[in-house]
Amino acid sequence: MPAFDTLPLDGPALPPASGGPPRHLVVLLHGYGADGHDLIGLAPHLAPALPHALFVAPNAPEPCEMAPFGRQWFSLARYDPEMARRDPATLATALDALDAGAAAAQPRLDAFLDALLEAQALTADRLALVGFSQGTMMALRCALRRPRAVATVVGFSGALTGAATLADAVTARPPITLIHGEDDPVVPFPAMALAEAGLRAAGLAVTTHGCPGLEHGIDPQGLAVARDALTRALAP
């Protein structure tokens, strides 16, 4: 297990259920205003299917600007969520406005992933990224611009930023699974369809899954979809 004081970001981790050295890495990227403890709770549900995986949930680098606790990958101070909710036609514009923040945060996440892979002597094809909300935005922003493709990306309740320039920027094409609550009041459900279109236009393989009745969260159905995607990519 890595010593987090030697890595660019800190946060909780769950060692492999097998008790042996990690053969795979699953990095869980939390949403805005949360921290690594929020998503590490997924690890016990995923570990039985991935007994050789080390689960790591780094804390985002910045304190949350709109709460007395929690962290953020990048600022949402200029983001107007009502712009997306009032008119789906403005959703793409709203998401493009977030891309500068995601781009600024990407080097810190890249450095963390590089250090973690080096510490565990593993290659990129043994790494999976799982994001929630803003963490999904970061997972997509980072994974598609790395020099080597990770094994897979699973994104809950998130969105694709920078879709307009992705085709020219993409350097890696891992398989992607997107899962989204159909009643999400925070990141509107149509964001998943926009992400799928943008990713496919850039040549990426995408699977999508809508969760009826689910708001901004993760339900057992979505967790099962994520587990299957991770198992296919890491432990076929």
184 is catalytic: yes
Nearest-5° Cα angle at 149, 236 to 102? 125
User: CA-CA distance, 132 to 87, in Å (whole number)?
Assistant: 23
Active-site residue (options: 35, 38, 99, 184): 184
User: For residue 87, what are the contacts with CB-CB under 8 A and spacing of at least 6?
Assistant: none
List % helix, strand, coil for the chain (3-state, nearest 5).
Answer: 45, 15, 40
75 is catalytic: no
52 is catalytic: no
Residue type, 113: L
Active-site residue (options: 45, 216, 219, 228): 216
Place of tokens 């339900």: 219
The token pair at 215 is: 């708001």
Active-site residue (options: 30, 99, 133, 157): 133
List, by residue number, the catalytic residues. 133, 184, 216
